[in-house]
A and B are shown apart, each in its own frame.
Chain A
């Protein structure tokens, strides 16, 4: 690794999912050099981009677990965090629906568990009240647990916002930088190696999601194993979103909170996830049986689920850590400056703001001095979105910059100005998926059929790269293979074909 660049950092955070980005942002409040490394081409490209996007109330986890404690604590931080960072969050409340009297017993148990966990204002409500709140719910429902502190947010938006705010406050982000080696000397991690850069670090935080056990093994430890559990989802058109006003849960099983039907903050409807043990950490494929299971589960809650309004399906991986199944947050045994934030499955999104504070305190206890930056700016301005502006504001924006008058994505009404701004935002955005996550171009009902070629052209133009270098999500995910006339010049059989075409035209 002689040819690689070498830098130093007080803290290296490995993994730019919701947990790693929250930690990086928390640490950027202090006089520290913080480097966030991510193997993917963008932040939030792992578990953070494919989950139920819920801010859980916290009645679910067993009392006394980290999950229980950090869920409730994280939930309470959401209004402030999302306001500071300009991220959508809706405190919708949530409902656990009981379909028979047996399930009602579980509902009462959940309420007791939730109260032990410190969840405020839980209430068991009768069927009539449930139907008032959610008129499309299964008419067989006998009652529900009402959790007013439940809500919805956008996980990748939050991860992007955390990262942008961290960068604004001095943190450094290295994308497309997989960790390939970790040096350890006398019980302390000394250096984190990526393909093009090596970072001498005083402290390392392992927030590598489903890969966290592999990262810990690179540092010579083997304290836990991540056994990913795949969850599949259907996403529905915005037209379908009116069918529910807030997340609806079934009564949970020991393995999962069950298949949920929930609105998203962007106005879509989401159904899922199922729960399938998978042996692979890159198993993001949906399956026919899995998707059928999702529909079946969702229909138990909403019998008239508008299946025909499905616009896409996807799968995510839960980073379940064994043994224990709880979050693993703490100094790695035998490595005094290596802190795990691992096994962060659900309710990881909700817990992330609290996990960040906990990791900060662990670092402090381990000897990292935390001196507050006097000029820390907690505010990350929400990028302007055409659809969120009034007509008058829209008119003003076009007058200032004609790109605001050029709609690129018709389904989500995204302008060229928004895409250009995303491509020049504080965290490098270089991919079609990156543009989608930042602007929603391509996230609508036609799923990029219309705007895809246009977005590719804008990326190439703004980044000054050839069109054939533009990728969907980094690596080898190129959108096009090259200029279309290339093979004609190389291959005589194609030239014959060309003549035939010309002949047909005459």
Chain B
């Protein structure tokens, strides 16, 4: 087994891994190695040949491969080493990687820092228990996308899509353009899971019906899919008896969510968040295992690649600070999801970072709402807030707290005031930065307006 030593090893060369590797190198890390199991850099971007990438970050509307190319070029220019067709088999707590490829065989890579950027996998039929037969013709939307865009084959001609996630919506349009008939898109929730622009461009513009509060209750066909039975669901997401009908089709695509791919993280003993399915991370994007960082869909599922890149930059910088001995020291404060918020990433923020640099929090709303403020509070004291005209569970919220906006003193006094209000000594775990959604008018009196 060959041995390799490096400062930073990045696992996964999708948008997260590319940006993290390049940024780590640019920020002073020595040898940086980027590993990917596929035959080319770019990860899932390569099969996302539709446009809409990079609007926020690059002020351009690019296709997935174009967005990838932008960062692949930067990665090469920066001097990052890449290893393709390479599968990581094992990651240990002491930052040892076992990987394999056809040319070099088994390798052991000892890294000062590891950045986990393995992305996500698609939830499949088994994860949601769709009863019925098990014929050919049931695909996750991403697998169908790979067949069409990478391999050049049509997975089917008459299609029903379960789930209104973005990949499913994109595939509804893609398959229509390739000559297939998309009979329906079904979403079990009362609101769509994908971005609004995709609902409009991929369904409305193609004349594809979207059935909210509907699901597939059975798959038919012995050899190849011959149809599905669908039904309306009640508020508990249970099928309503009598509401079912059959749709003839030869293909069922599933776009029912992504699961962060954390098999390696688990092996390394990284603590995972039950809500996101990804590692608990600091604002340096460091996991609970010192020296192991994470970014992108492996941490939490993103809807815009621009945010993945931003988060990956934070991970790259964090890893570089570790290997150059410049990690922030001193107190940290935990974040927590408050009213109307499902989760907050990162889970821990260095107080010193709040003073020194912009700190970005990512979060998702629990339900759609209009004209709200997204607030960062300690106790009931608003330290920072931002107006949002619309929040939707499908669209990730990003909140950038400018450097110096929240000081150590502000946290301490807010914490003290909160303890005083509640008549306690303060919370057991120390103060928490709680992010919550409130109607716009409730807090006219206090807080810093963004």
In the complex, whether B129 has a CB less than 8 A from a CB of chain A is yes
Do B131 and A407 have beta carbons less than 8 Å apart?
no
Q: Complex formed: what's the CA distance from A403 to B122 in Å?
A: 26
In the complex, whether B325 has a CB less than 8 A from a CB of chain A is no
Q: Complex formed: what's the CA distance from A17 to B185 in Å?
A: 40
B163-192 residues at the A interface, CB under 8 angstroms: 176-180
Do B100 and A407 have beta carbons less than 8 Å apart?
yes
Contact of B148 (CB < 8 Å), options: A288, A432, A484: A484
Q: Complex formed: what's the CA distance from A447 to B125 in Å?
A: 9
Interface string of B106-147 (1 = CB under 8 A from A): 100000000000000110111101011111100110110011
In the complex, whether A369 has a CB less than 8 A from a CB of chain B is no
Q: Complex formed: what's the CA distance from A457 to B140 in Å?
A: 18
B212-232 residues at the A interface, CB under 8 angstroms: 217-220, 222-224
Q: Complex formed: what's the CA distance from A404 to B105 in Å?
A: 8
- Most chain A CB atoms below 10 A, which of B1, B104, B105, B125: B105
For residue B177, which residue of chain A has the nearest CB?
A497
In the complex, whether B156 has a CB less than 8 A from a CB of chain A is yes
In the complex, whether B373 has a CB less than 8 A from a CB of chain A is no
- A484-B154 CB under 8 A given contacts A290-B131, A291-B131: yes
- A405-B177 CB under 8 A given contacts A471-B136, A482-B153: no
In the complex, whether B101 has a CB less than 8 A from a CB of chain A is yes
Interface string of B79-93 (1 = CB under 8 A from A): 000000101010000
Q: Complex formed: what's the CA distance from A449 to B105 in Å?
A: 26
Q: Complex formed: what's the CA distance from A435 to B18 in Å?
A: 34
Do B136 and A473 have beta carbons less than 8 Å apart?
yes
Main SS at interface, chain B: mixed
Q: Complex formed: what's the CA distance from A42 to B241 in Å?
A: 39
Do A472 and B135 have beta carbons less than 8 Å apart?
yes
Do A394 and B124 have beta carbons less than 8 Å apart?
no
Q: Complex formed: what's the CA distance from A313 to B124 in Å?
A: 11
Q: Complex formed: what's the CA distance from A189 to B179 in Å?
A: 53
In the complex, whether B102 has a CB less than 8 A from a CB of chain A is yes
Q: Complex formed: what's the CA distance from A287 to B133 in Å?
A: 9
Q: Which residues of A contact B102 (CB under 8 A)?
A: 398, 402-406
In the complex, whether A324 has a CB less than 8 A from a CB of chain B is no
Do A479 and B136 have beta carbons less than 8 Å apart?
yes
- A406-B151 CB under 8 A given contacts A449-B124, A505-B51: no
Main SS at interface, chain A: mixed
Instruction: State how many residues of chain A have any CB contact under 8 Å with chain B.
Output: 69
Q: Which residues of B contact A282 (CB under 8 A)?
A: 222
Q: Which residues of A contact B250 (CB under 8 A)?
A: 481
Do B143 and A453 have beta carbons less than 8 Å apart?
yes
Interface string of A16-27 (1 = CB under 8 A from B): 000000000000
Do B106 and A395 have beta carbons less than 8 Å apart?
yes
Do B63 and A235 have beta carbons less than 8 Å apart?
no
In the complex, whether A426 has a CB less than 8 A from a CB of chain B is no
- A391-B106 CB under 8 A given contacts A407-B87, A483-B152: yes
For residue B86, which residue of chain A has the nearest CB?
A405
Do A480 and B147 have beta carbons less than 8 Å apart?
yes
In the complex, whether A180 has a CB less than 8 A from a CB of chain B is no
Q: Complex formed: what's the CA distance from A411 to B263 in Å?
A: 9
For residue B155, which residue of chain A has the nearest CB?
A480
Contact of A449 (CB < 8 Å), options: B101, B142, B153, B223: B142
In the complex, whether A475 has a CB less than 8 A from a CB of chain B is yes
Do A473 and B223 have beta carbons less than 8 Å apart?
yes
For residue A485, which residue of chain B has the nearest CB?
B152
For residue B156, which residue of chain A has the nearest CB?
A481
Do A285 and B146 have beta carbons less than 8 Å apart?
no
- Most chain B CB atoms below 10 A, which of A476, A480, A504: A480
Do A235 and B126 have beta carbons less than 8 Å apart?
yes
In the complex, whether B441 has a CB less than 8 A from a CB of chain A is no
In the complex, whether B98 has a CB less than 8 A from a CB of chain A is yes
In the complex, whether B300 has a CB less than 8 A from a CB of chain A is no
In the complex, whether A196 has a CB less than 8 A from a CB of chain B is no
Q: Complex formed: what's the CA distance from A446 to B146 in Å?
A: 15
Do B63 and A505 have beta carbons less than 8 Å apart?
yes
Q: Which residues of B contact A479 (CB under 8 A)?
A: 136, 155
Contact of A398 (CB < 8 Å), options: B51, B100, B157, B179: B100
- A291-B129 CB under 8 A given contacts A497-B177, A504-B51: yes
Interface string of B39-60 (1 = CB under 8 A from A): 0000000000011000000000
Q: Which residues of B contact A291 (CB under 8 A)?
A: 129, 131
Q: B interface, how many residues as a size bin?
A: 35 or more
In the complex, whether B37 has a CB less than 8 A from a CB of chain A is yes
Q: Complex formed: what's the CA distance from A284 to B154 in Å?
A: 27
Contact of A287 (CB < 8 Å), options: B122, B131, B136: B131
- A446-B122 CB under 8 A given contacts A399-B105, A477-B223: yes
For residue A476, which residue of chain B has the nearest CB?
B223
Do A314 and B124 have beta carbons less than 8 Å apart?
no
B353-408 residues at the A interface, CB under 8 angstroms: none
- A284-B134 CB under 8 A given contacts A406-B102, A449-B143, A481-B155: yes
In the complex, whether A335 has a CB less than 8 A from a CB of chain B is no
- A447-B136 CB under 8 A given contacts A394-B100, A403-B102: no
Nearest CB of chain B from residue A195's CB, rounded to whole Å: 17
Q: Which residues of B contact A488 (CB under 8 A)?
A: 178-179
Q: Complex formed: what's the CA distance from A314 to B133 in Å?
A: 8
Interface string of A382-397 (1 = CB under 8 A from B): 0000000001101100
- Most chain A CB atoms below 10 A, which of B50, B134, B143: B134
- A453-B136 CB under 8 A given contacts A288-B131, A406-B102, A498-B177: no
Interface string of A469-505 (1 = CB under 8 A from B): 0011111111111111111101100100110110011
A435-461 residues at the B interface, CB under 8 angstroms: 445-450, 452-453, 457
A288-303 residues at the B interface, CB under 8 angstroms: 288, 290-291
In the complex, whether B103 has a CB less than 8 A from a CB of chain A is yes
Nearest CB of chain B from residue A500's CB, rounded to whole Å: 8
Do B133 and A311 have beta carbons less than 8 Å apart?
no
Q: Which residues of B contact A312 (CB under 8 A)?
A: 124-126
Do B177 and A394 have beta carbons less than 8 Å apart?
no
Q: Which residues of A contact B98 (CB under 8 A)?
A: 391
Q: Which residues of A contact B132 (CB under 8 A)?
A: 285-286
Contact of A477 (CB < 8 Å), options: B37, B124, B143, B224: B224
Do B177 and A449 have beta carbons less than 8 Å apart?
no
Q: Complex formed: what's the CA distance from A482 to B151 in Å?
A: 11
Q: Which residues of A contact B178 (CB under 8 A)?
A: 484-485, 487-488, 494
Q: Which residues of A contact B106 (CB under 8 A)?
A: 391, 394-395, 398, 405
Q: Which residues of B contact A313 (CB under 8 A)?
A: 126, 129, 131
- A407-B37 CB under 8 A given contacts A477-B224, A482-B153, A483-B153: yes
Q: Which residues of B contact A290 (CB under 8 A)?
A: 131
In the complex, whether A361 has a CB less than 8 A from a CB of chain B is no
- List the 6 closest pairs (A to B, CB-CB), nearest first: A487-B179, A402-B102, A312-B126, A472-B136, A405-B102, A480-B153
Mind listing 25 A-B residue pairs with CB under 8 Å? A285-B219, A288-B217, A288-B218, A288-B239, A291-B131, A391-B1, A392-B1, A394-B100, A405-B105, A446-B124, A447-B125, A449-B122, A449-B124, A453-B147, A477-B135, A478-B224, A481-B153, A481-B155, A481-B157, A483-B153, A483-B154, A484-B148, A500-B177, A501-B50, A504-B51
Beyond A310-B126, A398-B105, A481-B157, 15 additional contacts (C-beta under 8 Å) are A282-B222, A284-B133, A286-B132, A287-B131, A312-B124, A395-B1, A406-B102, A407-B87, A445-B121, A449-B121, A476-B223, A480-B147, A483-B154, A494-B177, A505-B63
Instruction: Using CB atoms and an 8 Å cutoff, list the residues of chain A in contact with chain B.
Output: 234-235, 282, 284-288, 290-291, 310-314, 391-392, 394-395, 398-399, 402-407, 410-411, 413, 432, 445-450, 452-453, 457, 467-468, 471-488, 490-491, 494, 497-498, 500-501, 504-505
